[in-house]
Structures are given as C-alpha cells and as structure tokens.
C-alpha cells in the first residue's frame, strides 16, 4: 500500500484529536443535526433531501422514522429522534424500509386470471370484474358467501373503508384480519378482565419499572427497540431485575436474572403458583382488592376465599412438575414480583398463540390485580403487539368478525344503531351475529360456503396454520388480492391482483401498542399504477351500488375524520386526534377527547379524562368499562396444549420469528443484507437431542406432524429446551405452517401456533 | 540528506503505526471474495476473522445481534468494505453529526468500526 506523508499526518492528527477530545466535546454543541418539524410534515436538509415524518412499517412498537426523498425517489431512512418511542433508534428491518419501496417484486399494475394465467389488465377491467363477481355472489348466495380478510399492517382508514363496505353495505360480518392470528387472545384477556381492550399504561412506564416479567416474548428479536429501552433501564439501574418465562433461551436472556424454561404449553400453573405465593406471603394490596376487584370462576362470581381455595393445589412443587422447571425458581419469581414495588409484565405470541391464550392473559392480569401494580408509574400488565396497526386499525377500528369501530361489538343493538347511523345505513343492515373467524373463514372457503373473498395486505397462503387443509379452498374460491408485492404465496393463486400503494406512497394513521395513533406522511407518488387501498375499496363500493356513502371519501383525511366520530365518548376517544394535529405531533395516546387534550398515560385512574371521580369515591382505580367499576380476577384451569407430545410424536414443535425477517418475507426477503443474516430455513435443536439423534448443524432433518412434513437444515444450539424444536416460519420455499395445528382458543379463536407434537428424523 | 532520511522514517512510521487505522480498510478491495453464500456473515467470519468477530461480538451491535451486513452489506450484491456515515446515521439519528461544524470527517474518526468504542478507550 502507499501512504503519503499527508495521509500519515492527517491520520495522526485525527487519532490525536479523537483521543484528546473524545466525544465529550461534540455532545451538546450545534454539530448534531436537527430533525425538528414544526408545521410541515417534512424537513429539508442541506443536500436537498426532504425527510418525511412517518412510522415504521414493521412490528407494533411504533418507532418514528424519517423517509428521505430526493427528486421523487426514496434515498434514505433515519430514526425520528423527536419521537419518544425510539428517540431516533431503529432496528435492522426499519433500516432498509426505503429499499422496499423500489423492490423488484413491487406489483405495478392490475392482473386478472385468464385461461389459468394472471394477465395484465386495466383498472377498469379489474374493478368491474371484482364488483360484478361480488354482486353476483351476493345476489345468488347471500352476503355471507362473501368475506374480507385484512391486516394489522393496513392503515386504520383502509380497514375502516373495508369494514363499512362489508359489514354496513354488503351486509356480512365475515370481516377478519390477521391480528386474529396474533393478538386476539390479548383482546380476550383485556376485555374479560378489565372490560376494555388494550393496555392501561404506556412505554413511559419502562423507565420507571424495577422488575420486568417477560412471558412468551423474545423481545430482543421481535421488538428490538423496546428491548433496547428495557436493557438501558437495567444498565442504568443495576437493581432492576428481569424474569423470563419461555421454552427457549433467546437473545433476550442476555439481560435476564432468572429464566423459567417451561415445557411449551404448560406455563399456566406457574402463574397460578406465583399468585398463591403472593397471597401466602402477604404481598397483596388488600385495599386495592377490596376497592377494585371481583372474582370469577369464568362462569359465576366467586369470593376471594373461593379463589384462595382454588389456588391451594398450585404449590411451587406442583407447578414445577407441570411446567418442567425448579420449584425454587418459581418461589424466587414470586418473591421478586411481590417485593418489587414497580412491575411490568410483558408478553407476546408465546402467550397469545395458544388454545389457553385468553386464560393465560387473564392469569397475568391476576398478578397485577392482586398486588395493585397497575395504573401507576412503572407498573402495567402490558401486551406487546406484533404488527404496526393491529391495535389501531383492527382492534380499535373493529376489523374482526365480532367487532364494530370504536371498541363496539356487533352483538350489541345500541352499538349497531350508532354505527349504522354513522354509515348512513339501516341498523338492520348490520347483522347481530358475529361472522366467521379466520380459521372458520378459510374452512368455509374450502367447503364452498364462502365463494368470494377480498384479501388486503396479507399472505394467508403462507400464514394460516395447517396449510394443506386450506390451500385448495383459496384456489377454488373467487379470490381478490390487494397487495404491493407479487408474487406472494397468496397472490399466485388469486383470480384478481390489485396493485396497492406501499408505505411512503400513501398517508394514513397507525396505532401502536401503547394506544398511540401516529400519522404517516405520503412522501412519494405510488409506483406504477398502484393506488391507495381505501380508494380501491371505495371504487368497488360504488360499482356495487353503494356509491352514496363512499363518494365523500376523496382523501385519507376524509376517512379518518369520519372514523374518529365513532370514538367520541368511548374509552378509546380519538376526537382530539384530528388529522391536522396528528401531522404535527409524534402521535397521541387515547383517550384524547379534545384538541387541547395531551393524551393519557394511565387509564382508569386520575389523569384519565373518563375517570369518574364521583363513582370512584376515593378509590385509586375505577374500571369504568365494567358495570361496577371492578376488574375481574379469574380462577381459570391450567389447561395444556391441544396436542400434547406422544410416543409417536415425542417432540414439542414451536414456531416464531427471527429479528431480520418479517412474517412471510414479502418485504424483508427483498433486502440482500437481511437475507444474508439467515440465508436458509432451519430448525433449532437442543444439543442433547441432536446428540441422541446423531444430527449436526447443517444436516438435513425431516420434521413430521399429524398434518405434514418438512425438511430443513438443523441448527444445533442451546436455545430450545430438550425435547423441543423451534422453527422460524418466514421462508416461502419452506412452509412451516404445513406442520402447525389449526386448533383455536375457544374464546379468542386464535390458533395454537406455539405448540404441536412432532417427530424429527435425519433426512 | 538528513531531511530525506527523516521523511523516510516518518513514512515508515506511518505504515507501521497507522496500518490498522487506515490500511486494513484499503487493502480489502472493492469486492468480497467469492465464498459459500449459503452461510451467514457470522458463521463464516467467526472462523475466518476471529479477532474482528470477537470485537463485533463484544460490541453493542454484537450484543443485539445486528450483524456485519448492517455496515458492510450482504457481501454479494452489496458490499461496503468500510462502513459509511450515512449508514450509521440511519439507525443513530440522534447522534447524526454535521461534520462541517467539527474537526472531524467521519463517525469512524472517533469510533472503531467493530468495537464501536472511541479510539481512546
């Protein structure tokens, strides 16, 4: 190599300067670039790049991002340092968001299946076909022969338009979305325990919490920015403790003080045992229980004493035997929970994707109700969300078969009347009976009961459990797929494929885990002939004869403005979160009942605008979404998995995600860097099992369940507990959901992706 | 003549002292060697460049498993032998620096690319 004296001197000077100055001289001065946005929703830097304020397209954390655009093209991505969710930090997926806008697999024009092949069509042809075919099915077989299947990645406005079309005009409640597959059990838990969906606290509690109790969540990989906040809290406060309950050792274990590595599907007894120890050791908040808690066995009210009797069998030893952990560790966990003043429990798919998902959610809430560690700084029973708008669009927007917008349900006559009035339709147009939940919906497709389906922004031909059972139904029915990308496993078997504008090419609102609704700017024109999903749906509505009630949807703002009317006076009041206001701020956390209201950090207590001080009469919390203001502690049985291991299928199979990939890889699979992180499908095998089976890393192994088999590479690693394998479900060339079971929680109807019985053979 | 030897001595010292600082990056070339692309970066580099791997593993990036690809690309379709400031700024927006207002030209003037620590740490 050659090096000039000039280079040498420069290098030396730089080294010296770095050594002498360190970073101290830089922090706090004007050198750090500003990203403040006051009035406009973008700012321009010195290189002519316009940075548009938005929200990350991936998980439910809701990180603020800035999309850089120059000459009409996406040129970069930055974390939004003004956004308090992430303070400028991004994870690896968000880092490549701008590249996905121009990915090779972007769908640029409509396609119609002709003679078995998807062929380019005009918008007129495609929309005419969809509207005429849907009208024909509606007229011939009735409205319930049609269905809509949406997404927790769709904007709230998109889900709202679809809901209005299908439930309010076509007249079917067959409206579902993929949050059924990830969050439905959390909804069931919150609504049964507290009378209303979604968490009581916010992310602000993280920086005040002293014990994080993490159940069934690999936060480090699934929610990296939130993990960073938790890890920072612990780093800055070494007394902060972290307890994990999970069948795997995951990267989250790096910050754990205690890990209860349970047998998949058998953790309910642990939570009961902790509840018993909390009571036995006097860790309860008796005044809080007296003021704000009821007890139930799930069918009838019971007394506190009945509940204590119910818990008698859940000794640490009993739970340890059930769950495959040490009894001493359960005692330690209970002691930490009981003695630490400020506790947050966080959970995700490991709790929700279970046939006992709602029960387990209830049991987690029980711990916080027993100890009163709720509704105050640093405390919450806080469900983590998998998708960016599962909370905002689908849970709040009412995008499931039993819901209506604004935390309403179809079964409630008053709710139907209120929404029918908003939608300008007769109240009887909205059916009182819930439609078909997701698994039942795809089952009905196979049986020919549902003959036409509109799928928006999701990929069920890869994500539905027990796939082999449902793929034929998707091929046989008249299936419309509105997507930004093609091919996906689903778009390939569609009859009509409609190109949808992607993130950055449309504006709209996402609502994240902590009840925060945030505006995303449109920074670019849609690629090719792509259009905003809301306009596509409104055009179909017009063609089906419902034009009057959709004609005013000439902008995204028009839809949002109509939607927030449905929230007025509700527990999730967004009346004060007008479009204009959301454009300026970094989101608002509901209830936010007026434009001068700052939003709410803790619900059901002082500071919540709907907290009824008169009814509360001095009580710290009043759950005004319950008839008597009291939340419910449930004595639920410690139900195990639907498919326990057996002599024929002795291994527990559990599925999940890796940090670098998102769902079915439609987006992240286009980024070479992310693909490089884990180039091939694989299964994690415990070293002891691998030794027994004679398997080494990179050997091919066959996994067999009652439903199908799959061959992938082995990765021998001390992560899953012995007797358990873990398979990420991302790769389309290796459909993990051929193996999973389609049994659902009887309450939430969420499938049990997290536990199936299998056997493993060297292939 | 003395001046010539002094200059030569400075150049030799430059090579010895600064090789790790500048030369290591320059000697990589613009293309990643053709390797077994079915492996992840870490699988290969943990064996091929164990010291660099160790530096990364003990860094904050390693702690959260943000892999080599974040700064260097996938190696096959995209390859950055040396990380770029723009890439740092994507994730670390709160630490973005307007270098024209400082004595520095790059994030790497202060930070080691693998340990991420300051050079004087």
* Every domain of chain B and the residues it spans: 36-121
- Chain A residue with the nearest C-alpha to that of B23: A1
Report percent pLDDT > 90 for chain A. Answer: 94
Q: Which of A7-16, A414-423, A592-601, B60-69 has the lowest mean pLDDT?
A: A7-16
d(CA A366, CA A295): 10
- Chain B residue with the nearest C-alpha to that of A219: B64
Q: Where does residue A648 rank: exposed (0-12), middle (13-18), buried (19+ CB within 10 A)?
A: exposed
d(CA B93, CA A65): 9
- For residue A582, which of A4, A10, A41, A61 has the smallest C-alpha distance? A41
Q: Given this model, what pLDDT does residue A26 score? A: 37
Of the candidates A5, A21, A77, the beta carbon closest to that of B10 is on A5
Under 8 Å CB pairs connecting chains A and B tally to: 152
Q: Determine what percent of chain A falls in helix, strand and coil, rounding each to the nearest 5.
A: 35, 20, 45
- Chain A residue with the nearest C-alpha to that of B15: A3
What average pLDDT does range A749-756 have in this prediction?
A: 98
Longest dimension (CA), chain A: 86
Residues from chain A that touch B9, judged by Cβ atoms under 8 A, are none
- The angle, 0 to 180 degrees and rounded to 10, between the axes of the packed helices A123-141 and A533-541 is 50
In the 8-state DSSP scheme, what is residue A115?
T
Both tokens of A14, joined, read: 């730089």
pLDDT at B28 over 70: no
- For residue A233, which of A262, A204, A194 has the smallest C-alpha distance? A204
d(CA A708, CA A466): 8
Residues from chain B that touch A674, judged by Cβ atoms under 8 A, are 69
Other Cβ atoms closer than 10 A to A578: 16
What would the 3-class secondary structure string for A498-532 be? EEECCCCCCCEEEECCCCEEEEECCCCCCCCCCEC
For the stretch A672-729, pLDDT in tens is 999 999 999 999 999 999 999 999 999 999 999 999 999 999 999 999 999 999 999 9
* Structural domains of chain A, ranges and CATH numbers in brackets: 5-90 (2.20.25.90), 111-182+393-567 (3.40.50.740), 185-384 (3.40.228.10), 651-762 (2.40.40.20)
d(CA A101, CA A505): 8
Q: Given this model, what pLDDT does residue A436 score? A: 98
Bridge partners (DSSP) listed for residue A73: A70
How many whole angstroms from its chain centre is CA A30?
Answer: 39
Residues from chain A that touch B93, judged by Cβ atoms under 8 A, are 35, 66, 78-81, 88-90
Q: Given this model, what pLDDT does residue A43 score? A: 81
Closest-CA distance, A424 to chain B, in angstroms, reads 46
Could you give the angle at the alpha carbon of A161 between the alpha carbons of A157 and A167, nearest 5°?
A: 135
Judged by CB atoms closer than 8 Å, whether chains meet at B40 and A19 is answered as no
Of the candidates B13, B37, B120, the beta carbon closest to that of A19 is on B120
For the stretch A172-203, pLDDT in tens is 999 999 999 999 999 999 999 999 999 999 99
d(CA B61, CA B115): 8
Bridge partners (DSSP) listed for residue A343: A211
Across chain A, mean pLDDT equals 94
In the 8-state DSSP scheme, what is residue A263?
P
Q: Given this model, what pLDDT does residue A148 score? A: 98
Residues from chain B that touch A223, judged by Cβ atoms under 8 A, are none
d(CA B104, CA B101): 8
Both tokens of B30, joined, read: 């613009």
pLDDT at A30 over 60: no
d(CA A724, CA A247): 8
What average pLDDT does range A592-606 have in this prediction?
A: 98
Judged by CB atoms closer than 8 Å, whether chains meet at B69 and A11 is answered as no
């Amino acid at each position: 190599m050659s090096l000039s004296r000039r280079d040498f001197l420069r290098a030396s000077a730089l080294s010296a300067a770095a050594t002498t100055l360190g970073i101290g001289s830089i922090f706090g001065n004007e050198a750090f670039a500003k990203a403040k946005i006051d009035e406009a929703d973008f700012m321009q830097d010195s290189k002519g790049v316009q940075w548009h304020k938005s929200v990350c397209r991936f998980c439910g954390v809701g990180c603020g991002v800035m999309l850089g655009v120059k000459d009409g093209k996406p040129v970069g991505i930055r974390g939004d340092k003004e956004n308090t969710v992430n303070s400028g930090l991004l994870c690896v997926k968000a880092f490549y968001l701008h590249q996905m806008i121009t990915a090779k697999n972007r769908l640029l024009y409509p396609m119609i299946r002709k003679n078995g092949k998807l062929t380019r069509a005009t918008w007129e042809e495609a929309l005419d076909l969809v509207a005429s075919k849907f009208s024909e099915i509606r007229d011939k077989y009735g409205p319930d022969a049609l269905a809509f299947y949406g997404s927790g990645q769709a904007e709230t406005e998109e889900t709202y338009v679809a809901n209005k079309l299908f439930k309010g005009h076509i007249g079917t409640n067959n409206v579902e979305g993929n949050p059924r597959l990830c969050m439905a059990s959390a909804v069931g838990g919150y609504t049964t325990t507290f009378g209303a969906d979604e968490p009581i606290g916010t992310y602000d509690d993280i920086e005040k919490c002293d014990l994080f109790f993490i159940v069934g969540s690999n936060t480090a990989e699934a929610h990296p920015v939130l993990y960073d906040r938790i890890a920072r809290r612990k780093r800055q406060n070494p007394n902060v403790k972290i307890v994990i309950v999970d069948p795997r050792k995951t990267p989250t274990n790096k910050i754990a003080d205690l890990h209860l590595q349970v047998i998949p599907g058998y953790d309910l007894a642990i939570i009961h045992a902790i509840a018993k120890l909390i009571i036995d050791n006097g860790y309860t908040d008796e005044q809080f229980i007296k003021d704000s808690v009821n007890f139930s066995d799930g069918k009838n009210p019971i007394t506190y004493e009945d509940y204590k009797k119910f818990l008698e069998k859940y000794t640490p030893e009993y739970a340890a035997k059930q769950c495959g952990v040490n009894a001493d560790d359960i005692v330690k966990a209970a002691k930490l929970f009981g003695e630490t003043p400020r506790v947050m429990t966080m959970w995700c798919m490991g709790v929700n994707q279970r046939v006992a998902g709602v029960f387990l959610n209830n049991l987690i809430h029980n711990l916080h109700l027993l100890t009163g560690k709720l509704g105050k700084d640093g405390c919450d029973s806080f469900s983590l969300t998998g998708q960016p708008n599962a909370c905002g669009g689908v849970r709040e927007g009412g995008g499931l078969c039993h819901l209506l917008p604004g935390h309403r349900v179809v079964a409630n006559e008053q709710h139907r009347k209120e929404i029918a009035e908003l939608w300008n339709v007769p109240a009887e147009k909205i059916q009182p009976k819930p439609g078909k939940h997701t698994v039942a919906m795809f089952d009905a497709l196979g049986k020919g009961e549902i003959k036409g389906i509109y799928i928006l922004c999701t990929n069920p031909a890869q994500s539905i459990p027990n796939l082999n059972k449902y793929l034929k139904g998707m091929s046989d029915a008249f299936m419309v797929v509105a997507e930004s990308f093609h091919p996906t496993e689903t778009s390939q078997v569609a009859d009509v494929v409609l190109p949808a504008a992607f993130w950055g090419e449309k504006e709209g609102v996402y609502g994240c885990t902590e009840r925060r609704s945030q505006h995303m700017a449109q920074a670019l024109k849609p690629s090719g002939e792509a259009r905003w999903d809301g306009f596509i749906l409104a055009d179909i509505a017009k063609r089906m004869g419902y034009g009057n009630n959709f004609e005013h949807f000439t902008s995204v703002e028009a839809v949002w403005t109509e939607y927030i009317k449905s929230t007025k006076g509700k527990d999730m009041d967004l009346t004060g979160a007008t479009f204009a206001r959301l454009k300026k701020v970094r989101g608002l956390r509901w209830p936010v009942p007026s434009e001068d209201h700052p939003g709410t950090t803790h619900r059901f207590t002082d500071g919540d605008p709907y907290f009824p001080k008169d009814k509360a009469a001095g009580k710290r919390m009043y759950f005004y979404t319950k008839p008597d203001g009291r939340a419910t502690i449930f004595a639920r049985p410690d139900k195990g998995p639907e498919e326990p291991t057996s002599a024929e299928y002795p291994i527990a199979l559990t599925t999940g995600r890796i940090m670098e990939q998102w769902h079915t890889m439609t987006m992240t699979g286009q980024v070479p860097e992310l693909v490089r992180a884990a180039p091939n499908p694989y299964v994690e095998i415990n070293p002891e099992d691998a030794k027994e089976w004679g398997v080494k890393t990179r050997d091919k192994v066959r996994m067999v369940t009652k439903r199908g088999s799959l061959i992938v590479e082995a990765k021998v690693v001390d992560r899953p507990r012995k007797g358990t394998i873990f398979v990420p479900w991302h790769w389309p060339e290796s459909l993990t959901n051929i193996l999973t079971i389609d049994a659902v929680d009887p309450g939430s109807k969420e499938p049990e992706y997290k536990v199936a019985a299998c056997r493993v053979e060297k292939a | 003549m003395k001046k010539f030897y002094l200059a030569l001595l400075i150049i030799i010292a430059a090579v010895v002292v600064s090789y790790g600082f500048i030369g290591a990056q320059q000697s990589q070339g613009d293309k990643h060697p053709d390797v077994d692309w079915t492996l992840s970066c870490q699988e290969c580099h943990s064996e091929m460049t164990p010291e660099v791997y160790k530096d990364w593993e003990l860094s904050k990036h390693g702690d959260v498993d943000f892999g080599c690809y974040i700064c260097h690309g996938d190696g096959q379709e995209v390859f950055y032998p040396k990380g770029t400031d723009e890439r740092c700024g994507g994730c670390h927006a709160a630490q973005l620096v307007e270098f024209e207002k400082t004595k520095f030209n790059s994030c790497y003037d202060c930070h080691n690319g693998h340990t991420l620590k300051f050079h004087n740490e």
